[in-house]
Chain A
C-alpha cells in the first residue's frame, strides 16, 4: 500500500452516503477517489470525464454540458472536491491569487466556481502538499467561502498527511485521522494555524484488498497517482 493509495481511498470516503449527486473533482487523486467510490460503496454517484460526458465505470451514460453544471450547482445536487492554494481554519479557500488582489504577487486561476460551489452544496478539498503556505491564518482572496462566511458545508480536507474535518469549535478545522507513517506532530507542524486535535487521533483507514486491486489494475494501471503525492 502506498501513500497515494491511502489518499485515493480517503478522497473516496468524502462522497460516502451522498446518493445520486454529481461528484466533481480537480486533480488526479480526487478523480480516482470519485470513480472508486462509484465502483464500490457509492454506486449512485454521477461522475464526468472532465468535459461534457457522464461516465459510469468509464463508459458514457449521459450528457452534462457546462451550462447544466451551473443548474446542478444551484440545485445543490453536487459535492465537489476542489484544490486550494490557501485554506484557513473555517474552510475559506483561495485559488484566485496570492498577495494583494489589486496587484498580486502571483496570479492563480481567479475564483472559478468556488463562490457558487461553497454556498450551494457540499465542498471538500484536496491538498497534495500539506504545508503552512497552504494552511494559513487568513487567505488572501476568499474564493470558496468558509463556515464563518455562510458556507453550505465544507465536508473534508484530504492531504498527503491527514484527513481533516470541521468538527472543531464553531465548525472550525479538526484533525480527523493521520495517514499510516504520519504523526500528529507532523500535521501540526505543517499547519499554519491552531488545529483542533482530539486526545486520540485514529489512523486513516487502509484500502481494502478489493479497493487496492481496483486502483492498481482498473483505475490507474500506469501509477500516475504516485506523481501527485510525494
Chain B
C-alpha cells in the first residue's frame, strides 16, 4: 500500500474538535450525513460550535444537545419531513445564532475557501433580505465595461470537516457510489483537518476498481483521518448501501429530546447501532 495509514477511531477524530471551532459537515439535508461522527461530537459534549453545511438532522441533533452557537446554512430540512423540529425550536427560543445564505452562496463560499480566495462574486443574494440579515456582507462592482454589481461572497474556512462516503482506503482516498457527490470534496478543501468516515474500508486496488474513476471524490491529500463506520450515515440515506430510515427519522422528529437521547444516544456508537436494529 502506498501512503501513510490514516485509520483512526471515531473518538480520535472528534478529539480534534475544540469548543468554539467551525465545523463543516458534508452530505445534504437528510442524505449521506456523517451521523456516526455527529453522534460522537454530541457525546463528547463540545460547546459553542459553528456548524457549516446543507443542514439536516446533523444540525438538529447538535442543536438539541446544546453543542451549537451558530449555524451557517441555506436550509435545514429532513427532506421527507420538510422542517427540522429541533432547529425550529431553537430558533424560536433564540438559543441558536444563524448565518443564512442562499444555497448557491454557501457553495461559492466553500469554493472560495478551497481556492484560497477571500471571496467570489455571485448574483445570488442581490435584493434579498440575505443582505439585511448579514450586515457584514457586501457587494463588488465588475472592473470591466459591464460594471455589474455582484455579491462578494466571503470564503467560508473551516477548522474541521466531517464527511461520510461509501468506500475508502486506509490512506484517505474515497469513493461515493450514489447519484450525487453533494459538496463533500469542497468541505475537505475548505478545512484545516479532514475526517472521512465510510461504510467500508477496502484496499486501494479494490477501491479503484470498485467503480468509475469519476466516483473517486476525494484523494489522500484531502483527508487526515479515515474511520470505518458501517451504517454510519444512519438514519440519513447512503445509497446504494441503504436508503433513509424513514420510520426512525419520524421517531426522531416526533419524540421528545430527552426521551430520544436516553433511548439512543447515551451509549457509544455500537450501542446506537444495536438500539436501532431492534
Smallest CB separation, A59 vs chain B (Å) = 15
* Chain B positions 61 through 88: 1 when the CB is less than 8 Å from some CB of chain A, otherwise 0: 0000000000001111100001100011
Question: What's the Cα separation between A107 and B71 when bound, in Å?
Answer: 14
Which residues of A sit under 8 angstroms from B104, Cβ to Cβ?
A: 70, 73-74, 113, 116
Question: What's the Cα separation between A120 and B126 when bound, in Å?
Answer: 10
Question: What's the Cα separation between A156 and B183 when bound, in Å?
Answer: 32
* Structural contact, B74 and A110, CB atoms closer than 8 A: yes
Smallest CB separation, A23 vs chain B (Å) = 18
Question: What's the Cα separation between A162 and B254 when bound, in Å?
Answer: 36
Q: How many residues of B contact A (CB 8 A)?
A: 38
Which residues of A sit under 8 angstroms from B44, Cβ to Cβ?
A: none
Question: What's the Cα separation between A73 and B105 when bound, in Å?
Answer: 12
Of residues 101 to 119 in A, which have CB atoms within 8 Å of B's CB atoms?
Answer: 101-116, 118-119
Interchain CB contact (< 8 A) of A120 among B74, B92, B124, B132: B124
**Most A C-beta atoms less than 10 A away, residue of B75, B77, B125:** B75
Chain A residues within CB distance 8 Å of chain B:
51-53, 63, 65-67, 70, 73-74, 96-97, 101-116, 118-120, 141-145, 149-151
**Most A C-beta atoms less than 10 A away, residue of B83, B92, B127:** B127
* Structural contact, B179 and A107, CB atoms closer than 8 A: no
Of residues 89 to 148 in B, which have CB atoms within 8 Å of A's CB atoms?
Answer: 91-92, 94, 98, 100-105, 107, 122-130, 132-133
Chain B residues within CB distance 8 Å of chain A:
28, 55, 73-77, 82-83, 87-88, 91-92, 94, 98, 100-105, 107, 122-130, 132-133, 179-183
Question: What's the Cα separation between A63 and B179 when bound, in Å?
Answer: 8
Which residues of B sit under 8 angstroms from A108, Cβ to Cβ?
A: 83
Given A144-B128, A145-B127, 10 further pairs, Cβ under 8 A: A65-B182, A96-B129, A101-B132, A102-B94, A107-B83, A107-B92, A110-B73, A116-B102, A116-B104, A119-B128
Question: What's the Cα separation between A120 and B127 when bound, in Å?
Answer: 12
* Structural contact, A66 and B88, CB atoms closer than 8 A: no
Q: List 29 A–B pairs whose Cβ atoms lie within 8 Å, in order of A's numbering.
A: A65-B180, A67-B107, A70-B104, A70-B107, A97-B91, A103-B94, A104-B92, A106-B88, A106-B92, A109-B75, A110-B55, A110-B73, A110-B75, A111-B101, A112-B74, A112-B75, A112-B102, A113-B74, A114-B102, A115-B105, A115-B124, A115-B128, A116-B104, A118-B128, A142-B129, A142-B132, A145-B128, A150-B126, A151-B127
Smallest CB separation, A109 vs chain B (Å) = 5
